[in-house]
């Protein structure tokens, strides 16, 4: 990776939390290896996660039928987006690596982080109708989710009561990050730190710091290449027939999302392809 700029988007309301310690460890480790690090501490910033007409300055193009995606795209081009959105987009423009640090709430991101994504990843900035997935606008950037869970790893296994963690990761890693072109690195998941000993939590932090020292060398997780799809309205943006046929005798489908009615490839969203 040529650049050395990292952005950490952090969502936890308590500075004494394990998530806060993980954020601090990431800053320390990245700076130690020459990265410039910026942190967006969403709770400390009191970041507004709610989309509204106030996200644009001045009159909307169509006040009688306000289309948020269209209006913010136009506002972006004309320099009329709200200042807090512009500030976060500028951080993203400079970033070669984006780390999302958060606790898993109700099998997803905290609302404040989801709202950050919805407001900051505007059309024209994070994606266009032509620039998605492999051809996404952020295809030269890397991103990873660093999260803590309340339950043990077994609870998030294919046999676990909470279900396969790979299924939960798919909407975030494919539906948001890869959709915008990010090279998505394997998530860093800290299983049940609250139920772990101080020694175990210390070990978690040390392993996280060690990983970050070589993060620029990592390969991303696997997604089905866009070239395997018929990217036309007529084709329904579905896997090409020859691709589906080639998978006929395989035990697993191609990915969590493109499983073809078969088993999901083990750790498809949890481990890189190499």
In eight-state DSSP terms, residue 191 is -
pLDDT at 43: 98
The beta-carbon contacts of 177-180 under 8 Å, at least 24 apart in sequence, are 177/143, 178/133, 178/136, 178/223, 179/127, 179/132, 179/133, 179/136, 180/121, 180/126, 180/127, 180/132, 180/136, 180/137, 180/138
Those residues whose C-beta lies under 8 Å from the C-beta of residue 237, and which sit 6 or more positions away, are: 229, 230, 231
Length of the chain, please? 274
Q: By C-alpha distance, which of 78, 30, 270 is closest to 174?
A: 270
Rounded CA separation 3/249 (Å): 43
pLDDT at 33 > cutoff 50: yes
How many Å apart are CA 68 and CA 119, to the nearest integer? 10
C-alpha–C-alpha distance, residues 143 and 152, integer Å: 24
Lowest mean pLDDT among 2-6, 36-40, 44-48, 201-205: 2-6
Confidence of residue 1 (pLDDT cuts 50, 70, 90): very low
Span 58-108, pLDDT tens digits = 999 998 999 999 999 999 999 999 999 999 999 999 999 999 999 999 999
Q: Distance between alpha carbon 182 and the CA centroid of its chain, in Å?
A: 8
Neighbours of 187 (CB within 10 A): 19
Task: Determine the 3-state secondary structure of 232 from DSSP.
Answer: coil
- Phi-psi label, residue 94: left if phi above 0, alpha if psi -120 to 50, beta otherwise: alpha
Q: Mind listing the pLDDT tens digit for each residue in 219-256?
A: 999 999 999 999 999 999 999 999 999 999 999 999 99
- Do the beta carbons of residue 43 and residue 12 sit within 8 Å? yes
Task: Please state, in angstroms and rounded to a whole number, the distance separating the CA atoms of residues 35 and 3.
Answer: 8
> Angle at Cα 162 formed by Cα 161 and Cα 167, nearest 5°?
130
Q: What percent of the chain has pLDDT over 70?
A: 98
**What residues are paired with 223 via a beta bridge?**
none
Provide the mean pLDDT of the chain: 95
Contact criterion met (CB below 8 Å) for 18 and 193: yes
* Percent above pLDDT 90 for the chain: 95
Structure tokens at 151: 């339950």
> Pairing between strand 142-148 and 188-190?
parallel
């Amino acid at each position: 990776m040529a650049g050395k700029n990292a952005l950490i988007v952090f969502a936890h309301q308590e500075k004494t939390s394990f998530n806060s310690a993980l954020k601090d460890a990431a800053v320390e480790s990245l700076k130690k290896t020459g990265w410039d690090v910026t942190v967006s501490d969403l709770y400390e910033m009191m970041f507004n996660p709610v989309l509204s007409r106030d996200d644009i300055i001045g009159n909307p193009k169509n006040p009688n039928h306000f289309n948020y995606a269209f209006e913010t795209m136009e506002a972006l081009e004309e320099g009329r987006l709200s200042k807090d959105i512009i500030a976060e987009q500028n951080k993203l423009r400079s970033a070669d690596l984006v780390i999302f640090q958060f606790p898993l709430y109700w099998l997803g991101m905290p609302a404040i982080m989801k709202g950050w994504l919805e407001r900051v990843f505007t059309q024209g900035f994070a994606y266009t109708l032509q620039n998605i997935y492999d051809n996404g606008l952020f295809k030269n950037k890397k991103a990873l989710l660093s999260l803590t869970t309340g339950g043990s790893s077994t609870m998030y296994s294919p046999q676990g009561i909470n279900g396969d963690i790979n299924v939960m990761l798919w909407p975030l890693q494919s539906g948001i990050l890869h959709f915008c072109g990010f090279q998505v690195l394997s998530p860093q998941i800290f299983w049940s730190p609250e139920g772990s000993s101080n020694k175990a939590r210390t070990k978690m932090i040390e392993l996280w710091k060690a990983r970050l020292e070589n993060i620029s060398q990592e390969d991303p997780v696997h997604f089905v290449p866009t070239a395997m799809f018929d990217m036309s309205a007529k084709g329904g943006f579905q896997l090409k027939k020859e691709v589906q046929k080639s998978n006929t005798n395989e035990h697993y489908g191609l990915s969590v999302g493109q499983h073809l009615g078969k088993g999901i490839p083990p750790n498809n969203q949890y481990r890189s392809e190499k």
